[in-house]
Structure 1
Amino acid sequence: MEDFRLVPLVALVAFLLLCCRSSSARPEASTCGYNACPKPVPGRVNVHLVPHTHDDVGWLMTVDQYYYYQVQFILDTVVEELLINPDRKFTYVEIAYFFRWWREQSADKQAKVKQLVKNGQLQFAQGGWSMDDEAATHYVDIIDQHTQGLRFLNDTFGDCGRPRVAWQVDPFGHSKEHAAMMALMGYDGLYFGRIDYQDQAIRRKTRRMEMVWRASQDIGSPQTDLFSGKLYDGYGQPGGFSFETGDQPVQDDPQLYDFNVEQKVKQFVDMVNTRRQVYSSDHLMLTMGNDFQYQNARKNFKIFDKLIKAVNNRTAAHNVTVYYSTPSCYTKSVHDQNLVWTVKSDDFYPYGFDAHSFLTGFFTSRAALKRYVRTASNQFQAVKQTACLAGLQRDGAEPDARIDPLRQALGVVQHHDGVSGTERQLVAYDYALRISNGIDRAYPVLQSALANLTGDSAAYSGMSTCGLANISYCPFTDSNTDFYLHFYNPVSHPVWHLARIPVTGRYYVVSDEHGQAVMSQTIPVNNGTLRVPERAGAKSTCELVFNVSAIPAMGFAVYRVAAAAPGSPGVSTFTPIRLLFGGYGRGKISASKTKADWLSQHTGCGVPSMAYYYGYPGNNSRAEFRASGAYVLRPTRQTPEQFSLEQIAGVFGPVVNETHLLWSDWAYQVLRKFSNNGDSLQYNENELTVGPIPYDANTGREVIVRYDSQLSSSATFYTDANGRQVMRRVRDYRPSWPLQQTEKVAGNYYPVPSQIFINQSDGASFTVLTDRSEGGSSINDGQIEIMLHRITARDDALGLGEALQEKGSDGRGLVVKVTHWFAADQSLSSASRRRRELANRRYREPLIGYLTAEPKVKRWSGLRRPLPENVQVVTLDDWRGPNTKLLRLEHLYQTGEHPALSQPVTVALGQMFATFDILGAMELSLAANQYLASMQRLQWRTTAAGGSAAQNAAREAVERRQLDQNLTVTLRPMQLRTFVVQVQYL
């Protein structure tokens, strides 16, 4: 490989110029950023008046409806008002909207807006494509949507457009991993509007509404320390000062009736003095805005001007000074007081609004959409990987234009009323439509990339996909009996995959990439799947099941499937579903020991049983009458209703044994135990088909599955945060305050984006891995409970105005198919390895392409050698020009999880990929909008000792030398590192 130090000077200069354009490394010489902040007045109460708007990227209306009905007028009128008075400031957040608006402006208007940004009048907070949810989102999607928004701001405004603080004012609880990523993106502070009502009451009394969040013990302090503040009472205006919604304005003309300057000043000062009692500094931030406000910015700013003048003219009487400001200016002012802050090291889940309103239902709401987002995200990563590996941008194919619709759709749906499931039904349909259209646009990029990589356009131009294969519906296999399957593996290591392909016959020969017959099995489509209404028109009668062994890292394997006569060499084994217990006219099945023993023998575990809660149909008139709704989980009783098991059936074959459990005509379960296929990470599978859930006007149902491990778990269980670090949970307990538990079930539910597990003191462990984000808990020792699907009879009166009642394609109710992987381990280290590796595979499942023509290349890897087992390529994306890429790597393990795999690991970048060499690399912040070497975050004094900023800087300097001299990268536990790299295609 050519040493980067010997790269021709012209190429090096070009790369550096490209990097400077892609990541704002150094602040511009201007009055933006902290230079644009008003100077505090010492000895006075400094009130930061922060005009802002909160523009949901879909909720009661779709994102485009909101834009055309409201948001465009907000940005139009705000810009005009900022141009009138240079003292005025405004903060904007949602880049999905700003991007739409910016495209419509004239060059003259764009120039004026750029000047407003350069002056520090128009500032951005957070800067993601949306203000994302923190419970149901996956870390890859969080990073991607922030990269997308911040890249637009950097391209458009340079460093002056860079947000200095994160602004998560509306999500319903806050994740520790999300906070860690905000710190790694370079934010100096984080503000939120919602925390548990008990937590808030104590923080107000003790003046701890602001703190330093120590967000990752693995990456450490100060890299992931983040100053965090709870806004006094949400993100809206103080009572009496919401002028856009009818509060009395400042009337400062004594010649007119209703002159009220003295009254409004007194009202303002009294409010300020009340609020400042719960904060520690001499500064107070007043958020002056709310949902979709400032459509008439003239009214707001004109009254604010008068209010500021009136208060400041009377400062000697009340010692209060007020001025226009922004969240970033407030953060800098508080920082400069050099106070000492308490440290928080847990998270803000679950979020209780009051004693009977725990917002834990949305962890599961709209389960089908949650799954769709997860699968679309995986496809998005695979398309980006293959486009880069194939060099499509180099060949002038402009893949970005075809990938961007999916990129934007995924950015929008991460919104806290998107993947959360708390939007109206019409909006959920719109999110799904955007994702579907995005996939349709991006899929030809995957075809082109594979054709380019293999020199085989004839085969790949006709490659198809089957988006409904999970319900055994695939038009391709309905009409083809001899075809090829292309398995693309996005994981950075070889993976084993259990393929399940819808077919119309019973007998097939499956051949691997070498032409060798593979053991296979056909199973009739089960009754749970046959009832799914979206199968209308499907011709498949069976599922063909076989193992795909060691799919190459970031590569593919091609298998052939051909119909055959019974008895042919290598032909599949047809295994009917045999009724074992129960049946029509035979009554319900009792929970006899014989049947329980049989289930344990044939599933390898106890019986994960299905049950449901009745949702409370309250009228929401008071807290005790809060209804279960899209946000709130509130069972009528704290113990679930048990199904009476109606039938048990079995499938016995060479690839998989299955146990089919019919709980009711709307609850069907299949437990699978696989034969040993050479994969060291064995697991069992639990497929649950739920719906249509019975509905009447007064009853909602919340359907769960319970796993009984028989472990002694001491009220303790563990869930992941956004697919990364693991959080310890203790039933009826909060680490930050003495909990008064009022809802046994809802108050113990937590988000489960990918895994939940329990441990025993001797090291035994039981783990469940999910295929989407769900809500889960351990309500009883030894048990894991996960909510699968839910409908509600009522709205919970938190703004949606609509009960959660998904009707499905036939109007009878949505059917949801959920799949869990579960396993037991006898040591914590083996459990950690299984959890980490399988969770990585679960998110990055192989993409299956269906071809009629035989591909020339049957096996290929995009890596010259697999990466170490504890390292994963998170991002490989085209960046600036055909020879510049964005590369992210992560360490998959936390400190102490595994004796070997939790150690630091070093990888060489230069010859990592099969199709290009990396000639040079420069490290960026996590969201790729700053050079890491230039990123200087504010440092905070704390009551608990943290890491040394000097030591951290020294370590980063060593890492930079390692990167510059050897193109090697060392990853410590949980570390995420981002690079812009120059490549040379081979």
Structure 2
Amino acid sequence: MYISNYCAILLLIVALCFGVSQKSPNGCGYDVNSEPRNDIQHACVQYILDSVIQALLKNPERRFIYVEMAFFWRWWNEQSDDVRETVKELVNDGRLEFISGGWCMNDEGITHYNSIIDQHSLGAEFLRDQFGECARPKIGWQIDPFGHSREVASLFAQMGFDGLFFGRVDYQDYQYRTMTKTMEMVWKGSANLNRESWLFTGVLPRVYEPPDSFCFDQFCNDQPVMDDSSLHDYNVPERVQAFINAAHDQARGYATNHIIMTMGSDFQYEYANVWFKNLDKLIKYVNAQQVNGSDVNVFYSTPSCYLYALNKAGLTWPSKTDDFFPIAQNPHGFWTGYFTSRAALKRYERYSNNILQATRQLNALSEINLRSSEAMGVAQHHDAVSGTEKQHVADDYAQRLSQGIDIATDVINSSYAKLLPKESGLAPPLVQFLCHYSNISECLPIEGQIRFTLTLWNPTIHPVTYYARVPAIMQYSIRDPTGSIVPSEFLPIPNITKNIPGRTSSANYQHIFKTSLPALGFNTYYFEMIHDEKIEKKKVMMTQNETCTLENEHLRIEFDDQGNLHQITNLEKGIATSFTTQGFYWYTGFPGNNSRSEFQASGAYFFRPLMPDPQPVSTMRSITCTKTETVQSALIIFNNWASQEVNLFQGSVAVEFEWTIGPIPIDDYIGKEIVVRYDTDIQSKSTYYTDANGREVLERKVDYRPTWNYTVNENISGNYYPISSRIWIKDEQRQLTVLTDRSEGGGSIHDGSIEIMVHRRLLYDDNEGVGEPLNETAFGTGLVVRGKHFLILEPPENSALIHRVGAQQLFMNPIATYALPQNSYADYESLYRQTWSALSDSMPLNVHLLTFDQLGPKQFLIRIEHYFELNEDEIYSQSVQIDLQDLFKSLGTITDLIELTLGANLPLSQLHRLDWMTNNNESSHVETTQQTHLKDTMVMLNPMQIKTFQVTL
């Protein structure tokens, strides 16, 4: 099973001084106070739901909340019509309330905004279709993730949520907020979108646990409420007084006379009657004390009812503009290890999403009308892509992604069967297949073939230049879509690649060639084996352990004869940065027993180095320099488990660093955390910048937190932040940006340095729930991980265009599929299109097509976004206008256009969010359009704005 942990939580609202009276249920939404809970996961979620539904029917005052639709959907599909009608009645009465409503409770540190939106849309669609408006979530409920992103708050606000509640914040932050009664605030989720990104946010008092001694589950040992006074174990007076004391203690940290108590925890509510029966008693006897002067009134409720009470309290609220990263549980327990844990799974998730988005586009453009994204939705869970699950659970997530890719491959084939033939019915379909091991130069189905085709789908709405790499046993001639022979390099595959455990390919060479792909379209390249006498011998210069300079028209990269990177020069801009060091280091993972904070171990969740200074993986290295017309490379081998290949392609403005790490040795019984460092002469003044979920960028400062006086206990892990797509440092003249191909953790520990953790292999568990060390293996040895960084050196004022576009193209990489035609090239060319684009006009460079999906016959869901921030670029940070009809010229004419909320479950004109006032007398109110059906297809986008539309043709 892919189950990790399941939290079942019911909520009590406690009103001190009788601020809110209890209502009987008479409808859904803010008109009713309801009960709650949250979900997450457990192998017996079905039993929890079975039990809870029956318990709710016994008492109309009871409430329950549910979060993750992946599990509810499974349960729902097994229910009878009678049970479904009962559940719908509970939802309509506000007694069962769906909160957040995503396919899962996603992680916030290392997930990409594209996938966060998708998985919430998937859950929202299910709720809308099955239950209607009463089930539309209005509250974000992120009680378990390990830090909280400003970008997620912005996305939730744009989905139409009125508030967000979560449980985990830094222990120092928690202490400060409790002392200052600032546990609840207006979070300004975007530096670009203003009030439409503001979200009321509250920190729960105990993560998601009930007050001490008030757990009434089969897993708990707390005393139940015994109310038979004739028995010796009668305990109502002490139980009531303990609860009243707990309510008063909690109230000290909050600004109103309303407080929220979560009643539940991991794996609970399989026998819901145990919880509800005790809570019924507790409510009865606590409220009975009001005649004796008690100021506590307690009742079943939900987060939405609690939020509504806060909204009606008439207070002004503090505001927040930064995020909640990183967070520490204790002085030595920072939740920063998971930023990198299971680096291979993190890359596989990103790769899977790349395929999913391209598949949706192909599906829509060919009107196949096949949809499936459940595997990607589940993978966003905070114990999935985060890497904080047991090994067999991680294997299950990977298997589900693999099965999802298999489904996607079927869609790709159905789509190309319509798009490739020049005339329908005349050309036989060509079976397309993906080569998933291309990153280790392996594609077994094409090995030894006389001919094959490579079709590259460009999922962006801009033409792109892409360097294709195709492993081969022998040399091929390659024809582009015009029939011309493509200039190609035929280079040996490095031994470091051929020796990766599990690689079974016989290919010793690879073709590398440049492609120019049309926007939202494909090119096909035809490969045909050539005989030795026809092989053109191209000039290749190769040196070993000599000084090496890689250079193209934009950049120069200089290495010494020991493989040390000395300098990168931007030739066009006339700037350079020197490197004091560049290479791989390892921290020793702390080997603690977790008995106290000072013995906290480094594990899947936590990063805690034993010593503050990492050790180099090797004091020696070798360098092999290869130069061709297309690419110049420096292969640097540090030892038998750490290497990198630095590639500079013709015309490229970025330097590619392809690193290979593993198997990390542990025969010395030392767990190791591998980082790559780029140490430069840039005067960064203890400041660096990291992206949030692939979108907006936040400024970071070493040993500093914007909202409280930070006490430093861990000067390495305390300065690590999630890097979903990029990190940079800068001074007045230079900015060095590193783009990543997956989410990783890192920071700038020293001035002029960028440090990124790329792999981890540990021998101790950190006692946060995994229950086993993060010690990944494959093929009988430690896991090998391979990835890429792209370095960009530009003046700060010019960098945005390159790193924004570069990050988007890296995220939405061309999708390569192969086929084995039996036709000669002449026959192939006569039967099949070799190039095609859905667009007839070029799109603005600062606009990205985020979603293009078919909802039904002639009905489509699209999201377009402006992916530059305010003041980033003189040209591309301006507002931009786009005609949606241009996206559909190949499909038809737009006859109806409805703008939706970001979650695509409500017309934007029908959205009415609660208004809040900040301490600075700023109102969160946003005027919304009253027009549902739009006639004009011209859309204006402001910086960082995403617009969502349902389009009918």
Kindly report which structure 2 residues correspond to 1:187-198, keeping only aligned pairs within 5 A, or say none. 187-198=161-172
| Equivalent pair of 2:896/2:935 in contact (CA under 8 Å) | no
The secondary structure found in structure 1 opposite 2:31 is: helix
The secondary structure found in structure 1 opposite 2:858 is: strand
- Partner Cα distance (2:922, 2:752) in 1: 36
- Partner Cα distance (2:833, 2:949) in 1: 31
- Partner Cα distance (1:757, 1:427) in 2: 34
| Equivalent pair of 1:524/1:577 in contact (CA under 8 Å) | no
| Equivalent pair of 1:910/1:919 in contact (CA under 8 Å) | no
Alignment of 1:793 onto 2:763: yes
Change (3 A) 1:602 1:213: closer
Shift of 1:597: 7.8
Shift of 1:332: 0.5
Alignment of 1:524 onto 2:492: yes
2:147 matched to which residue of 1? 173
Change (3 A) 1:944 1:540: farther
Higher relative contact order (CA 8 A, sep 6+): 1
Q: Look up the equivalent residue of 2:505 and give its one-letter code.
A: A
| Equivalent pair of 2:520/2:839 in contact (CA under 8 Å) | yes
Change (3 A) 1:947 1:88: closer
Q: Look up the equivalent residue of 1:469 and give its one-letter code.
A: S
1:475 matched to which residue of 2? 444
| Equivalent pair of 1:521/1:574 in contact (CA under 8 Å) | no
1:751 matched to which residue of 2? 722
The secondary structure found in structure 2 opposite 1:448 is: helix
Q: Look up the equivalent residue of 1:840 and give its one-letter code.
A: Q
| Equivalent pair of 1:53/1:293 in contact (CA under 8 Å) | no
Kindly report which structure 2 residues correspond to 1:759-798, keeping only aligned pairs within 5 A, or say none. 759-762=730-733, 764-798=734-768
- Partner Cα distance (1:386, 1:592) in 2: 44
Change (3 A) 1:944 1:500: farther
Alignment of 1:964 onto 2:934: yes
Shift of 1:608: 3.0
Q: Look up the equivalent residue of 1:553 and give its one-letter code.
A: A
| Equivalent pair of 2:804/2:867 in contact (CA under 8 Å) | yes
Alignment of 1:101 onto 2:101: no
Shift of 1:860: 0.8
Change (3 A) 1:868 1:109: same
Alignment of 1:689 onto 2:660: yes
Kindly report which structure 2 residues correspond to 1:83-232, keeping only aligned pairs within 5 A, or say none. 83-221=57-195, 223-232=196-205
Shift of 1:614: 1.2
Kindly report which structure 2 residues correspond to 1:905-916, keeping only aligned pairs within 5 A, or say none. 905-913=880-888, 914-916=890-892
2:207 aligned residue (234, 239, 250): 234
1:60 matched to which residue of 2? none
Shift of 1:646: 2.9
| Equivalent pair of 2:559/2:567 in contact (CA under 8 Å) | no
Unpaired runs of at least 5, structure 1: 1-28, 39-49, 57-65, 394-398, 583-590
Kindly report which structure 2 residues correspond to 1:445-460, keeping only aligned pairs within 5 A, or say none. 445-455=411-421, 458=427, 460=429
2:3 matched to which residue of 1? none
Higher-helix-fraction structure? 1
Q: Look up the equivalent residue of 1:152 and give its one-letter code.
A: F
- CA offsets per residue over residues 315-344 of structure 1, 9 Å max, x none? 132111111001111000111101110000
2:809 aligned residue (826, 841, 853): 841
| Equivalent pair of 1:73/1:295 in contact (CA under 8 Å) | yes
1:555 aligned residue (521, 526, 549): 521
Shift of 1:598: 7.9
Kindly report which structure 2 residues correspond to 1:967-978, keeping only aligned pairs within 5 A, or say none. 967-978=937-948
Shift of 1:796: 0.6
| Equivalent pair of 1:612/1:702 in contact (CA under 8 Å) | yes
- CA offsets per residue over residues 369-412 of structure 1, 9 Å max, x none? 0000001001001111111111123xxxxx12xxx2xx111111
Shift of 1:891: 0.4
Q: Look up the equivalent residue of 1:980 and give its one-letter code.
A: Q
2:9 matched to which residue of 1? none
Q: Look up the equivalent residue of 1:362 and give its one-letter code.
A: Y
Shift of 1:246: 2.1
Q: Look up the equivalent residue of 1:240 and give its one-letter code.
A: S
Change (3 A) 1:645 1:699: same
Alignment of 1:860 onto 2:856: no
1:933 matched to which residue of 2? 909
Shift of 1:835: 0.6
- Partner Cα distance (2:458, 2:206) in 1: 47
1:424 matched to which residue of 2? 390
2:899 matched to which residue of 1? 923
The secondary structure found in structure 2 opposite 1:978 is: strand
1:12 matched to which residue of 2? none
Q: Look up the equivalent residue of 2:605 and give its one-letter code.
A: Y
- CA offsets per residue over residues 463-516 of structure 1, 9 Å max, x none? 2210001001101221324222101000111111011111112x3322221122
- Partner Cα distance (2:404, 2:499) in 1: 29
- CA offsets per residue over residues 37-88 of structure 1, 9 Å max, x none? 27xxxxxxxxxxx5424423xxxxxxxxx34xx1111000100011111110
2:691 matched to which residue of 1? 720
- Partner Cα distance (1:572, 1:516) in 2: 18
- Partner Cα distance (2:69, 2:665) in 1: 41
Task: Give the stretch that moved more between structures: 637-646 or 97-106.
Answer: 637-646
Change (3 A) 1:835 1:635: same
- Partner Cα distance (2:568, 2:204) in 1: 55
Shift of 1:122: 0.3
Shift of 1:674: 1.3
- Partner Cα distance (2:562, 2:281) in 1: 78
Shift of 1:697: 7.1
| Equivalent pair of 2:562/2:620 in contact (CA under 8 Å) | no
The secondary structure found in structure 2 opposite 1:243 is: coil
Alignment of 1:279 onto 2:254: yes
Shift of 1:803: 0.3
- Partner Cα distance (2:564, 2:421) in 1: 55
Shift of 1:562: 2.6
Q: Look up the equivalent residue of 1:273 and give its one-letter code.
A: H
Alignment of 1:850 onto 2:818: yes
Alignment of 1:740 onto 2:740: no
Shift of 1:864: 2.4
Alignment of 1:822 onto 2:791: yes
- Partner Cα distance (1:224, 1:491) in 2: 26
Unpaired runs of at least 5, structure 2: 1-24, 548-557, 571-575, 822-827
| Equivalent pair of 1:125/1:167 in contact (CA under 8 Å) | yes
2:606 matched to which residue of 1? 632
TM-score (norm 2): 0.91
- Partner Cα distance (1:663, 1:191) in 2: 47
1:586 matched to which residue of 2? none
Shift of 1:576: 7.7
Q: Look up the equivalent residue of 2:335 and give its one-letter code.
A: L
Shift of 1:596: 6.4
The secondary structure found in structure 1 opposite 2:894 is: strand
Shift of 1:258: 1.1
- CA offsets per residue over residues 599-618 of structure 1, 9 Å max, x none? 64899974631111111111
2:346 matched to which residue of 1? 370
Alignment of 1:668 onto 2:638: no
The secondary structure found in structure 2 opposite 1:293 is: coil
Change (3 A) 1:597 1:532: closer
Kindly report which structure 2 residues correspond to 1:293-332, keeping only aligned pairs within 5 A, or say none. 293-316=268-291, 317-332=293-308
| Equivalent pair of 1:493/1:554 in contact (CA under 8 Å) | yes
Change (3 A) 1:145 1:228: same
The secondary structure found in structure 2 opposite 1:309 is: helix
Change (3 A) 1:459 1:730: farther
The secondary structure found in structure 2 opposite 1:689 is: strand
Change (3 A) 1:572 1:442: farther
The secondary structure found in structure 2 opposite 1:487 is: strand
- Partner Cα distance (1:566, 1:824) in 2: 42
Change (3 A) 1:888 1:602: closer
- Partner Cα distance (1:520, 1:625) in 2: 56
Shift of 1:851: 1.9
| Equivalent pair of 1:756/1:768 in contact (CA under 8 Å) | yes
Q: Look up the equivalent residue of 1:841 and give its one-letter code.
A: Q
Change (3 A) 1:602 1:463: farther
- CA offsets per residue over residues 697-749 of structure 1, 9 Å max, x none? 74111111111232111111111000000011111111111111111110000
| Equivalent pair of 2:137/2:161 in contact (CA under 8 Å) | yes
2:29 matched to which residue of 1? 33
